[in-house]
Structure 1
Amino acid sequence: MNRLLFVFVALSFVFGCRWFSGPAKNVEEANNANVPAVTPEPMPAAATPVPTATPSEGMPKGVVVDKVMPVKFEGGKFAAGWRWIDPDGEFSPTKYEFKDNRLTMTIPTTKDLYGGNRTAPRLVKAVTGDFQVEVRVNFVPTRDYQGAGLLIYLDGDNYIRLERAFGGIGGGGSGIRLDARRKDKYEPLTTPIEIPTITTNVNLKITRRLNMFSAFWREDESSEWRLIEDIETEFGDTVLAGIVACNTSEETEAEFQQIKLSPQPLQKPY
């Protein structure tokens, strides 16, 4: 009797444990089934690099021209305050030398100041207010395009070029040309067709009165200045004034002398 009772109790314990564990598992599975599956968060998209903005051209503080300021090349150096700029000089340098207070440039090809090509070598000084800038150029241009002369420069979209030249926009052979870029408009104001010359040495001058620039030329110092054209602009008070050389043909050489800044005269010099 006792043995039978023991067997009954043992069997009840075994089946009881199975019954208990079964529903618990089912409850756990049911609970897991009711929990929504967690969707993995997508990896964030790689950030698109933002191009670095190109700094705008800086304009140094300009000098007020209240006296004659001749440029002197002493000790093989550029005069104080004058900046030598050769934009692609790292790859195609413009050679230059000083001799007898003259600056000679040996200009390689592809040097220009037109459209997207702004690699022309230049020597400039920041000037504020009214002034005159002049130079005597010894240059024999023989190919289209070659030019050397004066430059008034605000930025890459605003400048004036007065050059002893050969060819260029608008045609012509050897002569004097005047070009201006004002914002998005580039204009050949005077071409060698209108002022032809084969003179090797010429004097060039640009004067400023407020926002009006006037361009002049003459063959030598004993000649009268001849007005080429007046150019009205919206340039700021301070601009870069100096000399420039352009060459899109075979290598050539230009000599500059008697570079000077002077006050604007009370009356136009013509």
Structure 2
Amino acid sequence: MVTQKQRQLWAFLAGLACVMWGISGLFAKSLFNYSSEITPIWLSQVRMVTSGIILLISAGIMGQKPLATLKNKHDALTLVAYGIFGLLPVQLFYFITVQKANASIATILQFIGPFFVMAYMTLTHKQTLRRLDLIAAFAAFIGVVLLATHGDFSHLAITPEVLMWGLLAAMGVATNTLIPINILHRVSSLVVTGWGLLASGICLIIVHPQMPHLAHPSQIIFPVSMVVIIGTLIPFQLMTNSLRFIKPTTASLLDAFEPFSATIGSVLCFGLVLKPLDWVGSILVVLAAMALNIMPRKKKSKIDSM
């Protein structure tokens, strides 16, 4: 049985994973600015395949027998589905949206993902949403909008193409959260994440093999390493494992920390000046994430108190 302390700990770690994704986005942006040869598809291929191999080797060293998981046909298909329909869209489509529009539009559209999760859990698992959940979701959404737009809504010019990629990324947030839930009760999160990343990376390579031609390739080693380590290896492991202890809706809504950390990183690294509404948005996101983990205490019965 999951205790309250375990739930709070893994909610914190899931939030930390989202912070890492936000920081890794700064490195990804620097790579896209460095050369037009570096595309979202190539960067996704590198981070997925490299991270997948490292995680599977780690699982093997720890005696978790990653190859044994593939002997179960249902588990193998689930891992492939997790990679292609979960991990791939949540990473690749987000980067494409950034490329076609900007990070603000991509963040807002991707944040629709938790609402897909809520709708799915409500319709299929008859999960009852508390009033606090709905208020937190609304507050977090408003906070992300303020962070992404600086309170200036005149920049939200969304073309049909941008809308399509953004909604696909949002659906990826939902599927990335929902698909691995059942298998995680039986298979190590290292194995699940490793095979999922490797499957999605191989799929991308088959569909669109690509190799950038750079004059000084050594200059991209560090930012690419950061995208792999703090943008894939550590956070996906934390987020996947957290699903054992927290609700899918909680995990997906904690994604609000991604734009928050990206904004703070931009302030520290690139001298971004925050407007008052940016601070309001930041506070809303943090309070909303904290509110999701407020669990009402059960009243003790007279029999329990005796």
- Indicate the structure whose relative CO is greater, using CA pairs within 8 Å and at least 6 residues apart: 2
Structure (1 or 2) with the greater strand fraction? 1
Return the TM-score normalized by structure 2: 0.23
Return the TM-score normalized by structure 1: 0.25
Structure (1 or 2) with the greater helix fraction? 2
